Amino acid sequence: MASARDISMGNYCDSIFDELTDMRSRALDLVSCIEQMQGEDKKLVKSHITHLRDIANLIEWKLEILTKVCPADWTKYSKGAENLVSVKVPESFDSEFAAAGDMGG
């Protein structure tokens, strides 16, 4: 697992890609383990299979986005880049605001 110290601007995209690929693989490995279980243990965790597959699919989607937005040579963009990000959090949301995934069901 990479830490903030290990990721530089030069290998940022590769590091993120590797981490997400590993997370997807581990989620699918858990699905395989659950599918191979027997008896009461399987009954307890069988409902998690759908959620784990959803997580793996979400990660796969993010990997596709990452491969499209990351340049082939990331290092030329690192010169003069800030290593801190400051984002203002909204104070409140309108009553019409719908969270991601909120389909009203």
At 30-59, the pLDDT tens digits run: 999 999 999 998 999 999 999 999 999 999
In SS3 terms, 63-94 reads as HHHHHHHCCCCHHHHCCCCCCCCCCCCCCCCC
Asked if residue 19 has pLDDT above 90, the reply is yes
Tokens for 87?
Answer: 């984002």
pLDDT score, position 13: 83
At 104, is the pLDDT very low, low, confident or very high (cuts 50, 70, 90)?
low
pLDDT score, position 67: 85
**Alpha-carbon span 6 to 16, nearest angstrom:** 11
At 11, is the pLDDT very low, low, confident or very high (cuts 50, 70, 90)?
confident
CA 93 from chain centre, in angstroms, equals 25
pLDDT score, position 73: 63
Task: Write out pLDDT tens, residues 70-87.
Answer: 866 655 555 555 555 555
pTM value > 0.85:
no
**Alpha-carbon span 45 to 28, nearest angstrom:** 14
pLDDT score, position 105: 47
